[in-house]
Amino acid sequence: MTNPLLAPWTAEFGLPPFAAIRDADFGPAFEVALSEARAAIAGIADQAAAPTYANTIAALELAEGALDRVSGVFYNLAGADSTEAREALMRELAPKMSAFASEITNNKRLFARIEALWAARDGLGLEPEEMRVLTLYRRMFVRSGAELEGAAAARLTEVKARLAVLGTQFGQNLLADERAWFMQLAEEDLEGLPDFVVDAARAAGRERGQNGPVLTLSRSLIVPFLQFSPRRDLRRVAYEAWVARGANGGETDNRAVAAEILALREERAKLLGYPSFAAFKLEPEMAKTPEAVRDLLMRVWAPAKRKAAADAGALEGMLRADGIAGPLEPWDWRYYSEKRRMAEHDLDEAALKPYLGLEAMLGAMFGCASRLFGLEFREIAGPFYHPDVRGWEVTRAGRHVAVFLGDYFARASKRSGAWCSAMRSQRKLGGEQRPIVVNVCNFAKGEPALLSWDDARTLFHEFGHALHQMLSDVTHGFISGTSVARDFVELPSQLYEHWLEVPAVLEKYARHWQTGAPMPVDMRTRLLTAGTYDQGFATVEFVASALVDLAFHEGAAPADPMAMQDEVLEGLGMPRAIRMRHATPHFAHVFSGDGYSAGYYSYMWSEVMDADAFAAFEEAGDPFHPEVAARLERHILSAGGSEEAEVLYTRFRGRMPGVEALLKGRGLLEVA
């Protein structure tokens, strides 16, 4: 029987044959795809013909076609709909895929061809995009150890393989902890909770096979529980379980895993001649150096901490008014902050959510993209990889642009958080290839599904990433879509969040799910006025995480990461009632792979730009100004990694921004 992953994909838009794929198909498909890729790359490296751009770089771009297809399906499913078989294969594949990558970058004959092209680059008559791709290929090979010889090269290969194994183990340990823990709730434990939280708890109980409501570690359930439950004892149990993920002892404990990862990263950097892993990692990013990252974070830390301290005083006063001696604890903050928000802004999330139904917010998300970029969205039928997944064909002026898949509901088989990925990326080399883009979120399932304001922002955020993929218009897949500097990749996503706050968008789309009535004007005004509410808390928990990440990677690797985490937080004077957003044992951004290692700061680096970028529309007097939107698409959304990020942003905006826009956007300028 033909493996469906390797047979031609004949479904509309070239979608994978989801219904035909079985877990048992993936292992054999990877073996065949890896074998084909190895043969193709050997053919490039060993050919007798002198190196040209076409027979070396362009050929490398197309050498892994089957592997790209199989990987695109498998890794999306492994994160969004895990099974025991998929988890086992991930563990098996981690060293194999790392070894394959090392084989390529350690291939001396292949690197010699790239070096020959690099030496002759000025006389090759390359187009600007080709010159950029050649530059990035050479940089990738050098940073992967292509210039190393002998024992150093062999050791780097071992280090990278072990890091791949550990990153997979870290993520699977975290998922196991999240999947295993739940707390049964008696009917009296539901007192004081809004209907949407109760409904989500009952739905979670059904999913877990329990006869009654349960609380899980899904953010979309535990955060509103912490906001609304008057039961301080239950809030404490839930909060401590939430922050203990990855640190519960036994086989799923991530503390030793994190320590080994940090030691190996330091060794990797030293083998490549860098003083620290942070110096190595940041070299190709916009920030360039650890010092630049620390400067940004500390400029934000001081005003954020002052704001958080003032807020903590107000919340502790409310705690004492309830007859509790104090002090204010982390499991108290969200509860009293929600009560304070209600008192100061008359903004009740339970009253707000009926106007933020998932269907309505999808309409807003698509509607803004239509007005800005002329995109149209037509829902298409599955089957996709899970019954919860929905699909849309994206077109513009009658031309197919992309397929967009939305996977929005929390389930035990899905890792926590929200993300955007591509099962297939855009490129033109070798024939036009349009992307298949996936947004994954973890909203609470309900009838209907109602979102919090934070959920709605997450929806828009991930779709900003999706637009970066869908509107990509480059020749080479190597630089398409989100293949940009890590501290630039969050710009399109964070920028797109701004359109959710446009009053006209809320007026049109934020409608009561039962009556269809628009959100009352006074509620909308209070919502937008409260936009900077509790930003001291949000900023402190983020910056603390980013500074711990930086500390882990800018010097000698700590033997005890938890001790270093505590030392950094103590040095910062971390407020007692606020914890890091991601403590080390569940800091998946940093330890499940290299993506955000020494790079968690990048959300804030991008925020400096996103506030300034949206100001371009405000200065033009129209949040949908066609000329500004066209400039945004041309220089950022369609450009991928075709030039350095600073060049792309400056072409869009005319200059680089300062940190003041970020402080203003977070309501921290007055305390700076």
359 and 483 part of one domain: yes
Select which of 267, 338, 462, 554 is catalytic.
462
Per residue in 351-366, pLDDT (tens digit) is 999 999 999 999 999 9
34 and 89 part of one domain: yes
What total number of domains does the chain contain? 3
In this structure, what is the dihedral angle of CA atoms 118, 123, 128, 132, given to the nearest 10 degrees? 0
Give the model's pLDDT for residue 660: 86
160 and 70 part of one domain: yes
Does residue 378 form part of some domain? yes
Catalytic: 188?
no
Mean pLDDT for 321-347 is 94
Give the model's pLDDT for residue 326: 80
pLDDT at residue 119 is higher than 60: yes
Which amino acid is it at 156?
A: L
Q: What is the pTM of this model?
A: 0.94
pLDDT at residue 672 is higher than 60: no
Per residue in 296-315, pLDDT (tens digit) is 999 999 999 999 999 999 99
| CA dihedral over 409, 411, 417, 419, signed as positive or negative | negative
Residue written as token pair 């959510």: 353
Does residue 148 form part of some domain? yes
Give the model's pLDDT for residue 661: 82
Give the model's pLDDT for residue 349: 84
Give the model's pLDDT for residue 658: 87
- Single residue among 245, 278, 297 that ends a domain in this structure: 245
Q: Are strands 436-443 and 399-409 parallel, antiparallel or unpaired?
A: parallel
Give the model's pLDDT for residue 597: 96
Query: In terms of Cα–Cα distance, which of 649, 548, 611 is closest to 262?
Result: 548
Does residue 92 form part of some domain? yes
For position 436, which CATH number holds?
A: 1.10.1370.40
Query: In terms of Cα–Cα distance, which of 434, 499, 495 is closest to 470?
Result: 434
Residue 383: cis peptide before it, omega within 30 degrees of 0: yes
19 and 165 part of one domain: yes
Percent of the chain at pLDDT > 70 equals: 100
Query: In terms of Cα–Cα distance, which of 221, 199, 145, 175 is closest to 80?
Result: 175
171 and 214 part of one domain: no
192 and 158 part of one domain: no
Measure the CA–CA gap between 356 and 450, rounded to whole angstroms. 6
Token representation of residue 642 = 């075709």
Query: In terms of Cα–Cα distance, which of 206, 148, 219, 130 is closest to 178?
Result: 219
Residue written as token pair 């007026």: 507
Per residue in 474-495, pLDDT (tens digit) is 999 999 999 999 999 999 999 9
Per residue in 129-182, pLDDT (tens digit) is 999 999 999 999 999 999 999 999 999 999 999 999 999 999 999 999 999 999
Q: Which domain holds residue 67?
A: 12-175
Does residue 5 form part of some domain? no
> Using only C-alpha atoms, what is the Rg of the chain?
25
98 and 186 part of one domain: no
pLDDT at residue 377 is higher than 90: yes
Mean pLDDT for 205-234 is 95
112 and 189 part of one domain: no
Residue 354: cis peptide before it, omega within 30 degrees of 0: no
Residues in the chain: 672
- Single residue among 175, 192, 213 that ends a domain in this structure: 175
Does residue 74 form part of some domain? yes
* Neighbour count for residue 525 (Cβ, 10 Å): 13
Whole-number Cα distances in Å, 658 to 10, 410, 531, 600: 50, 38, 21, 19
195 and 153 part of one domain: no
Which amino acid is it at 283?
A: E
Q: What are phi and psi of 394, to 5 degrees?
A: -105, 125
pLDDT at residue 226 is higher than 60: yes
Q: What are phi and psi of 655, to 5 degrees?
A: -170, 170
Measure the CA–CA gap between 34 and 29, rounded to whole angstroms. 8
pLDDT at residue 216 is higher than 80: yes
- Single residue among 204, 225, 245 that ends a domain in this structure: 245
pLDDT at residue 671 is higher than 70: no
434 and 510 part of one domain: yes
Residue written as token pair 């791949």: 164
Does residue 137 form part of some domain? yes
191 and 168 part of one domain: no
Does residue 128 form part of some domain? yes
Q: At what angle do helices 453-470 and 358-373 cross, to 10 degrees?
A: 40
Give the model's pLDDT for residue 363: 98
87 and 226 part of one domain: no
pLDDT at residue 664 is higher than 60: yes
Give the model's pLDDT for residue 446: 83
Does residue 273 form part of some domain? no
